[in-house]
């Protein structure tokens, strides 16, 4: 009997296997973003306050009935020589009739996702840059970023290739107008 030669795993396969085998502490979040494993600690209360206020407004005021999921893993396209991105937005929104979340596993494709929401935390650069590019490559129509350090909220839209072509930034305290199909003014006065 001859021993079979094993082909070495490509670096991206080893990275993906290592990522999927991670056993992160309870409450921590692990993501694979453009070939880098990013682990963030549980969010603080202020982070959750922004999420709660935003979700309520989207659900109540949107012209399209929206469903949402908190911390839902999304599989997104990546750059060259990197495994598929495994990104976990703070909140993922999809039209209610699609029922995207009902039968999804831990990681789901981003097809049908209408918007993702991120509130900056301990690694704000990832939210501002790397995740934004991942969401654009995935074709997610809207990316809403609450930047606590800057005191502003930005809506990125019109994804093309590695980024969004349009953005609207408003300081906390000023309303932010959403395009169709959501089509409402998001109030941020209570973010001050």
Q: Over the stretch 61-83, which tens digit does the pLDDT of each residue have? A: 999 899 999 989 999 877 665 66
Residue 7 has a pLDDT of 57
Sign of the Cα torsion 86, 87, 92, 94 reads negative
DSSP for the chain reads -PPPPPPPPPHHHHHHHHHHT--PPTT-EEEEETTEEEEEPPPPHHHHHHHHHHHHHHHHH-SS-EEEEET-EEEE---TTSPPEEE--SEEEEEGGG--STT--SEEE-TT--EEEEE--S-HHIIIIIHHHHHHHTT-SEEEEEETTTTEEEEEEEEETTEEEEEEEEETTS-EEPPTTT--EEP-GGG-
Cross-strand pairs, 160? 163
Residue 69 has a pLDDT of 95
The pLDDT tens digits of the residues spanning 90-135 come to: 999 999 988 899 889 889 999 999 999 999 988 899 999 999 999 9
Domain ranges of the chain: 24-191
Nearest to 104 by CA among 94, 114, 116: 94
Whole-number Å distance between alpha carbons of 31 and 40: 9
pLDDT at 152 over 80: yes
Residues 24-191: name the CATH superfamily.
Answer: tt1808, chain A (3.90.1570.10)
Residue 10 phi, psi dihedral angles, 5° rounding: -65, 150
pLDDT at 29 over 60: yes
């Amino acid at each position: 009997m001859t021993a079979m030669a094993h082909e070495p795993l490509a670096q991206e396969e080893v990275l993906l296997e290592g990522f999927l085998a991670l056993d992160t502490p309870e409450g921590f979040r692990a993501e694979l973003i453009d070939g880098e494993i990013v682990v963030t600690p549980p969010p603080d209360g202020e982070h959750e306050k922004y999420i709660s206020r935003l979700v309520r407004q989207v659900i109540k005021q949107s012209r399209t009935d929206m469903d949402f999921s908190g911390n839902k893993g999304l599989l997104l396209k990546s750059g060259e020589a990197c495994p598929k991105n495994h990104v976990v937005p703070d909140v993922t929104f999809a039209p209610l009739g699609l029922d995207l979340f009902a039968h999804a596993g831990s990681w789901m494709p981003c097809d049908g996702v209408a918007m993702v929401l991120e509130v900056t935390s301990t690694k704000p650069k990832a939210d501002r840059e790397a995740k934004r590019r991942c969401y654009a490559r995935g074709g997610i129509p809207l990316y809403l970023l609450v930047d606590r350090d800057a005191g502003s909220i930005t809506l990125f839209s019109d994804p093309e290739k590695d980024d969004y072509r349009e953005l609207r930034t408003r300081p906390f305290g000023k309303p932010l107008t959403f395009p169709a199909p959501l089509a409402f003014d998001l109030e941020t006065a209570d973010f001050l």
